[in-house]
């Protein structure tokens, strides 16, 4: 997955996107640098990524994420989700997370995680946990962040 921000995103949203890229397996953060969505899709396609995640902000804070699915010849929006950031990723946790063990209870969150293309690695020491419509990242019992609440998800309908 390639992760970036909307154009002119605030520092908090850029920090959120960078933290999310370190927390999701096989994810990479790229600076937007004024690129169009088509250019970002081309970058993702070139690096073999099947998803592009764009963090948008409102008043300088992360407010939405858009997930785009990428094939060899086209791209489509998969979903958009309103979010509320509760905690940034711990700056002391600089290591990338190679795999995640999922602790997801609700069907809504299972569908969200599946749309992101995240699989369950049962033996991973890192955990993606759902609590009260929030997603959090843990190393054992220690929360390493980021943590954000999903306010609503709209999936794109297939014609």
Q: Is residue 77 over pLDDT 90?
A: yes
Using CA atoms, how far residue 20 sits from 17, 27, 90, 147, 158, in Å, is 5, 8, 11, 9, 28
Q: What residue ranges define each of the domains in the chain, with the CATH number in brackets? A: 2-155 (3.40.50.10480)
* pTM for the predicted model, two decimal places: 0.92
Report pLDDT digits (tens) over 28-64: 999 998 899 999 999 999 999 999 999 999 998 999 9
């Amino acid at each position: 997955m390639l992760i970036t921000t909307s154009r002119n995103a605030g520092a908090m949203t850029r920090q959120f996107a960078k933290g999310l890229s370190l927390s999701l397996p096989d994810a990479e953060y790229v600076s937007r640098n004024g690129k169009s969505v088509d250019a970002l899709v081309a970058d993702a396609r070139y690096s073999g990524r099947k998803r592009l995640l764009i963090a948008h902000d409102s008043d300088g804070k992360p407010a939405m994420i858009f997930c785009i699915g990428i094939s060899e010849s086209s791209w489509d929006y998969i979903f958009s989700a309103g979010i509320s950031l509760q905690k940034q990723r711990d700056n002391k946790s600089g290591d990338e997370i190679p795999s995640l063990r999922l602790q997801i209870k609700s069907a809504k969150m299972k569908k969200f995680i599946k749309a992101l293309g995240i699989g369950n690695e049962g033996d991973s020491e890192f955990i993606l946990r759902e609590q009260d419509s929030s997603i959090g990242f843990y190393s054992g019992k220690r929360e390493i962040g980021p943590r954000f609440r999903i306010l609503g998800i709209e999936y794109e309908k297939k014609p």
